Structure 1
């Protein structure tokens, strides 16, 4: 499909057809930044400026990378299969798989997520010289906090040897008494060193290592760096505001000396500041590339003007820690959509009241608007745990939902279901586990039948499992539910025969 630039607005078109040299695209929410990046990739290929395999495009999530790749694939003719579109971590893993031995890493390294990292430390806790971070009552209390701290260090390019050197300097300074704080820092530095040694001994890397070792590879092996500098004639970075120090250094060293680097950023949409990302990278980009062309995308295709105006009023409260304030540019968005959006503030005196009013509002809209669908609603919360009251209310009301938060493995409902079943097999009297099993959706046991079962259990001071075995004695339970419970009992007995 040939590229049609007439559908783009003026600013988008200028960004797409930009020639060589650094380019900073400041793109507000809903201004079509992904469209600009994908069409810029296609434009560079169609105009013969470069080959598909000579373009590197990186973003932050697998979903965003897949979406970008899909859009480019639709716009390009068949046969363009060598595009490098991926996340930062996937890109670095691909490089390290080929050149791990050149930097002293095992070629068959494993990648550990947070849970696997925690287990590695837990199993080797005796190898850590911990005092402050190993309380007697709960020796594993601070493992996750330590791993998170090590991850932050790696995001900023701080290695264990740097931390140890810093701790030693504190120890030897005449004006720094060797107090508890100094000892604590020395303990953390030693733990960081031990953790990194354990990773390497187990042929493992964490996500921070992927970026840092790839950066080290390019810094120490100039021939490899030269190969990839020559290979990638154009580099594009989406969500640049979410890059940390190490990621920016990696991109910067790759882009030299052609500096055909396009970054798309909006500090107001930064979501990884907790992980070391900082809008200062955008400021630093302007300093590193003073001749960079800057284009602001401010035409919004998603919302009505009154919604944009209210959002802008709120985000201005973050001044002076915003690019708009620092660079003296305007990021105020202008709606292409006509009309006014409905903004309503629901006031409640308690969390329970807030949840009930929210669910009531959803039901009210569904009843009023016949074209509305469940997919038209989204409930946003500040943290994963804050969603729990809404989830319970949705379940009580019978409203279908999807919880899309990136939760830990052991918090996922399907894993909790499996764990509950294992607990039940280990101990038939584990009533909370039985209750969770009975509420599993595929069984379709009505809540009123489960209520009768729990009431019988409470009155007879029996476990739920024992009550299930006395099912014929419990009045009012439907025949369908009885069949399902008999089936569950049969499964339990079959799975406990060793």
Structure 2
């Protein structure tokens, strides 16, 4: 490849980052400064100029969407010659590592990922099992506590409560939660990172394997990394590794979930000979917007310091309207859009941004009153929809009978006559025996503890799961899914419901 193709169209600082000598580098990239382009061209430079094998390169991003975009742009630039490179999120790469080394990580081969909803359901069960009042000990707060401790790399045995009764209660819940997850072969998102870190720290041969393979590591959005991600990176990067991080201390907004903007400075201190390159030319905003942003952000303490600029137009001045309340705000916004429309502007070129979904109602009412058509973007993600999670829970339970979260989700979905009292009996039996809910159910049936109707319903459920696994074992996944939806009763359940939601669910399953 002609090297000029990698540098043409870049500004001087972008070229400096792309063509930087091998070593450790921090690219402090302001908003709209073309950092993704720099990362893509840097990877291409490593393969073309430095003759690096794709197998020796790992690229880390923060979202699956960003990872897919980077993968596509690299393949386009390199004409598909990037096969073998690891590209993904911290969680995705740690998941890949744990699948490859599940025995060393003390996990079953078929371990399942616990999403946030399933985590809440499990925590509520554990809170009830410990005779705690969920109003005083909310499951969401328990999840925050557990995830925060894992982000700091702390297991229950590492935490000192200092005889604080509140801390002792949260710690007891953490311990019970970890035992339940280990027993059922479940891994939550925070656990992916912590267990992968522990795997590298504990297993010298695995650590040296990855250090020998990955000679070039690139990390995007470094200001959003937490302690366990930084520690994982340090173990992955061997003494001969060249690490380039891209971040912006002015865009650190995730401190509330454990992100440490100081990791940028730690990188300069902990990675030998690290140098800093500043990307300050902005390609996204007008001059007036950048001047206002620079003035505002200059008030932040402990900045590394940069000043965004553009060679584009100054643009319109920024206007601010201080509304009396949310109704006045909605009226003003819709009025400005109407003015724009009356002067020839198209509604499709107009967008309204708001901080939270709760604010949309007043804005929608104002739009309806003005007779102005609109469309809401966003909403629930595909795999967070109830009907999708129900189908996935059947598939997960077929693969792993010890998955208590999936068991609870579908044992009475569709309704099969298993009430709250029966489920509570199963939960208590599982807790008392130190077993999973599946194991406890079989034991209760064998011991004839349950009443006739409940026992028959539970027995039919167990037979259903066993039959689904036997009948679909040799089928490809999409056919397994279709069989589960049809034979579990999920399809009939929604066919019997009325309304647009039920019709939407059936269309979704048809196209899945």
TM over 0.5: yes
1:355 paired to 2:351: no
- Give 1:252's aligned residue: 234
Write the deviation string for residues 98-121 of structure 1: whole angstroms up to 9, x where unpaired.
Answer: 101112111211111111101112
CA contact (8 A) 1:127 1:194 kept: no
Q: 1:145 aligns with which of 141, 163, 173?
A: 141
- Give 2:378's aligned residue: 404
- Give 2:150's aligned residue: 154
Instruction: Give the secondary-structure state (helix, strand or coil) at the position aligned to 1:14.
Output: helix
Q: CA deviation at 1:72?
A: 0.8
Larger radius of gyration: 1
- Give 1:89's aligned residue: 91
Q: CA deviation at 1:413?
A: 13
Write the deviation string for residues 148-167 of structure 1: whole angstroms up to 9, x where unpaired.
Answer: 1211111111211112xx02
Write the deviation string for residues 216-238 of structure 1: whole angstroms up to 9, x where unpaired.
Answer: 00000110111111111100000
2:103, 2:66 → 1: CA distance? 31
Gaps of 5+ in 2: 390-414, 416-495, 503-512
Q: CA RMSD in A?
A: 2.8
Q: Cα gap change, 1:154/1:384 in structure 2, threshold over 3 Å: closer, same or farther?
A: farther
- Give 1:179's aligned residue: none
CA contact (8 A) 1:112 1:206 kept: yes
1:282, 1:265 → 2: CA distance? 7
CA contact (8 A) 2:330 2:362 kept: yes
CA contact (8 A) 1:236 1:263 kept: yes
1:386 paired to 2:359: yes
CA contact (8 A) 1:241 1:282 kept: yes
- Give 2:73's aligned residue: 71
- Give 1:486's aligned residue: none
Q: CA deviation at 1:64?
A: 0.9
Q: How does 1:152-231 map to 2 (within 5 A)?
A: 152-163=148-159, 166-167=160-161, 170-171=162-163, 182-231=164-213
- Give 2:273's aligned residue: 291
TM-score normalised to structure 1 length? 0.73
- Give 2:224's aligned residue: 242
Instruction: Give the secondary-structure state (helix, strand or coil) at the position aligned to 1:100.
Output: coil
1:232 paired to 2:232: no
Instruction: Give the secondary-structure state (helix, strand or coil) at the position aligned to 2:377.
Output: coil
CA contact (8 A) 2:75 2:81 kept: no
2:107, 2:497 → 1: CA distance? 47
Q: Cα gap change, 1:229/1:405 in structure 2, threshold over 3 Å: closer, same or farther?
A: farther
Instruction: Give the secondary-structure state (helix, strand or coil) at the position aligned to 1:261.
Output: strand
| Matched residues, number | 393
- Give 2:307's aligned residue: 332
Q: CA deviation at 1:342?
A: 3.8
- Give 1:303's aligned residue: 285
1:365, 1:233 → 2: CA distance? 54
Q: CA deviation at 1:208?
A: 0.3
